[in-house]
Amino acid sequence: MAKLSNARAARHGLAGAGLLMAVAVVTGVGTAPVGGAGAEARSRVDRGRELAHDFNKGNCLACHSAPRDKTAVTLANIAPPLTMMRDRYPEREALRRHIWDPMQRNPNTIMPPYGKHRILTDEEIDLVIDYLYTL
């Protein structure tokens, strides 16, 4: 696994590269690509968690906490916590639209439009939703 720099850790609001490295080890971020070899062996929820925690993809933990996920190491409190997601979004398509382009619901949001700006593919958004529905 590549060593992560203190500058990169600082950009993500973490105390040091050691903590960032620990997050990578605990969550599996950086250990195997989502679509790469071995992806079939991981569950959709695990693949969605990896995307949501990945600094270069979903990066959900930059703004959201996920209190029910013990692997979600973050001090984020900018956005609502990712909890009771199935209750908050009983219609999967409503959550999908929100992730695709949150500005449709809230034009002043700072959440990136993951689908509209092609940050995540349609399949990756579906995987993230599979994960979010476990929270």
pLDDT digits (tens, 9 = 90+) for 1-42: 344 444 444 444 444 434 443 444 344 444 444 445 455 557
Its domain, for residue 125, covers 6-132
Q: Give pLDDT, residue 41.
A: 54
Q: Give pLDDT, residue 38.
A: 52
How would you label 53-89 residue by residue, b for 16+ Cβ within 10 Å and e otherwise? bbbebbbbbebbbbeebeebbbebeeeeebeebeeeb
The pLDDT > 90 percentage for the chain reads: 69
Domain presence at residue 1: no
Q: What is the CATH number of the domain that holds 76?
A: 1.10.760.10
pLDDT per residue as tens digits for the range 104-127? 999 999 999 999 999 999 999 999
Domain presence at residue 99: yes
54: confidence class by pLDDT, cuts 50, 70, 90: very high
